[in-house]
Amino acid sequence: MPYSFKTEKICQWGTRILIFLVPVLPLYISAPMVFPYITGKNFAFRILVEVAAFFWIGLITVRKEYRPAASAMVASVLTFTFVTGMADLLGVNPYNSFWSSYERMEGYITILHLALYFMIVRSVLKTRKDWLMFFNIISAVGFLVGLHSLSAPAATEGTRHWLEYNRRIYGTIGNPPFLAAYSLLTIFTGLMLLLNTPKKYLKIYYAFLVLLNTAVIYRTATRGAILAGVVGLLIMLAYYIIEKVKTRKWKLINTAVASVVVICAVALAVTFIASRGNYSLKTDATLSRFSSMLSNDSVRARLNSWEMAWNGIKERPVLGWGQENFIGIYAVSPMPYTGEQVWTDRAHNIVIEWLINAGVLGLSSYMAIMGTALYIVRKKYHGKLLSGKESITLVTALIVYFVQNLFTFDTINTYFIYFALLAYIDVVGSERGDARPQPATDAGITGIKAFLLTPVMMLVLSAIIYFANYRPMNESVRISRIARTVSEKSLPALLGDFRKTLRLNTFGDYDVRGAMESVSNYIVLQELFSREGAVEFVNETVVELERGISKHHHNLEYLTKVIKFYNRLVLYDPAFIPKAEALVRACMKMNPRYEWLNYALAEIYKQKKEYGKMYEIINNMADRDPLNDQKQFELALTAIFLKKEDVAQKALNEINRIRGATKDDIASGKSLLETGELNYIVKAYQKAKDFQKVIHYLNLLNIINPDHARVHFNLANAYLNLGDEAKAVEELDKAAKLDPSGYGGYRDKLLRR
């Protein structure tokens, strides 16, 4: 047998097996890594594509029929890849644009792998039989994912998933919107199979698969995916009606069916609107999310991020900011003061996303891919290479995919199906797509080429897998292991683990520094400097965070964390005052409209004991925006600290007025301050040594939560400072009764003070 034919068979089967493994990835959860639902799938996809490329290059070496052929689809994918690469290279953080992060696992490295995956799939899956096998694997895995999602126990109350998603299902995908997006595409692969099989039992199976995934989408309560599904249903219904009318097969029964569908849809909509406050709607996760859509916090946050994105688009309209740099728009957008700034790294809208990622050129090249796909489907339909039903299914799949991406973003679970559909559209029905090439007869030069190319390719492949996959995977595993054992190890041992992890020097260093900051914050807040290795750990955290500043100089979220960390350390080392001030002023130059920086500067003036400047900044913030209750609260705290009681009371009364307190509320002394705010007020009056006010606000806290032992303990302290031992003992007894183990032995200690 000729050498080239042996090589072809090995390479052909090696490539096909690896490509057929890609659809299995949605089942994989990488438990030892950080973000286990994301990182493992993406690393596995990259490795599968890289190894498949090794076999594919061997294949195209011996057979020209497997080499990339020119087509409009290939041109559009490669143009998109090129434009995105230019945008990333010229963006604000090319390193971040290329590598992304563990949480997202996108970036240019993913675009390169997807383009390569598209080329390989397009080249190797040549017949309908190949494609039906590929779609069958996708559908079978989709069936397992859906079955697991519907049968898995609900998230435990109090867990992170419960707090974020409540009763919404997630399965092996890990996130309800991502699961819905994946299920939506598997519905269309199921429909493709349904159209291409003559066997009745298979039709029943594929129909069941479609219904199962429809149920999954409903249970995820993902509004974008459900709306996209409705759009798809309307397109298919319109096609059905048009086809029946065109072929003159429209009968009374068709009119009846269409009328019933429309009437039911209208009736459901009217019933839903009329019943929005009903208990039944509130208990159904999906219906309740739709009923509260216009008032939902997540929807408002998304609209706010779209508004901010517009500032970023105007700033860099041509090639954008580069992938994974959405956070950069905060540098050019107004940022009103709020107690806790909410940061987002995604627009959750594919149009805005690519305008930010790669500007007008990037969005145009992205949309050109879909436009090309629609054009090819239309052309093949008119050329009778695709049936009408298959054509409308493919068109609907593309439109539905785009519509649902107006409310979310892609993951590898949807990317691999989408790019496979593009390859299918490009080759199906053509002469290339109908038959495999015959075995090669010339074994000479091609065999020698393959023999010489193999060790070179193996060396290159090994290097890529090691540096692009193994090292960041190893770092991910180490970060996860540190997080699980952080409470069990001494600080020197923990620091040693962090040092070893940082030696891997990958894009995961960002997460390592974040973990080090969390540990250091705990040390500072709990005042654990007497522990062995505590000072060294905090100092090394400072060094690492400062290294990160140069890599994330555009990232106000990261810089804000560093400023807050400096401000905590100022209490123990005044040397951090100039560092904090320098970073605050640098951020002010970057974005003068980031109002929190004024508050940070006021804190620095407080540490420098320049109280006049501190008060001036806070007072100006409140004067410029008198209806902002957060600014009034900061003014109240500052005034209490400076013993400006009239200013403090005026600010506190203003907060009540802003929050809708009635005259009776104000007259009765009722406060609309939240529990956390009352605690801050109590601490401020404790520092000001105004114990009458301490008692007043502790009593307000006691009204909100009368069974909190700590409140009674603090009341005992306040009464003791006023010399009222009888009241102090009374409150301490209440604290001891509520929490004997915590406060039972404090009575004698408190009275001996």
State the pLDDT at residue 1: 38
pLDDT at position 316 over 60:
yes
The dihedrals phi and psi of 575, each to the nearest 5 degrees, come to: -65, -20
Task: Tell me what the mean pLDDT of segment 71-85 comes to.
Answer: 97
Q: Is 80 exceeded by the pLDDT of residue 374?
A: yes
Average of per-residue pLDDT across 333-360: 91
Note whether 183 and 148 are within 8 A (CB). no
Percent of the chain residues topping a pLDDT of 90:
62
Q: Which of 458, 519, 462 is nearest to 485 (CA)?
A: 519
Residue 335, strand partner residues: 594
- In this predicted model, what pLDDT tens digit does every residue of 110-152 receive, in sequence order? 999 999 999 999 999 988 899 999 999 999 999 999 999 998 8
Give the per-residue pLDDT at 633. Answer: 93
Lowest mean pLDDT among 257-261, 582-586, 686-690: 257-261
Greater model confidence, 668 or 734:
734
Angle between helices 176-196 and 388-404 (to 10 degrees): 180
Q: What is the pLDDT of residue 702?
A: 85
pLDDT score, position 293: 57
Residue 479 pLDDT greater than 90, yes or no: yes
CA distance 516 to 533: 13
**Domain assignments of the chain as residue spans, ordered by start:** 614-663, 673-753
User: How does residue 737 score in pLDDT terms, banded at 50, 70 and 90?
Assistant: confident
Is residue 739 over pLDDT 60?
A: yes
Q: Give the pLDDT confidence score for residue 253 in this predicted structure.
A: 58
Alpha-carbon separation of residue 373 from 367, 380, 398 (angstroms):
10, 11, 8
The pLDDT of residue 290 is 63
Q: Is the pLDDT of residue 327 over 80?
A: yes
Class of domain 673-753: mainly alpha
More confident residue, 349 or 68: 349
Please tell me the predicted confidence (pLDDT) of residue 743.
67
Give the mean model confidence (pLDDT) for residues 277-302: 62
Mean pLDDT across the chain: 87
Q: Is the pLDDT of residue 673 over 50?
A: yes
Distance between CA 743 and CA 120 in Å, rounded?
69
Model confidence at 647: pLDDT above 90: yes
Q: Which stretch of 236-250, 428-442, 484-498, 572-586 has the lowest confidence by average pLDDT?
A: 428-442
Categorize the per-residue pLDDT at 264 as very low, low, confident or very high, splitting at 50, 70 and 90: low
Q: What is the mean pLDDT of residues 716-734?
A: 86
CB contact burial 539-553 (16+ within 10 A = b; e otherwise): ebbbebbeebeebbb
Query: Considering the chain, what percentage of its residues have pLDDT values greater than 70?
Result: 85
The mean pLDDT of 509-530, rounded to a whole number, is 94
Higher pLDDT, 67 or 424: 424
Higher pLDDT, 258 or 736: 736
438-453 tens-digit pLDDT? 555 444 445 566 666 7
- pLDDT at position 300 is 75
Which of 336, 337, 391 shows the shortest CA–CA distance to 195? 391
Model confidence at 249, in pLDDT bands (50, 70, 90)?
low
Tens of pLDDT, residues 584-623: 999 999 999 999 999 999 999 999 999 999 999 999 999 9
Provide the terminal-to-terminal Cα distance of the chain, rounded to the nearest Å: 97
pLDDT score at 2: 47
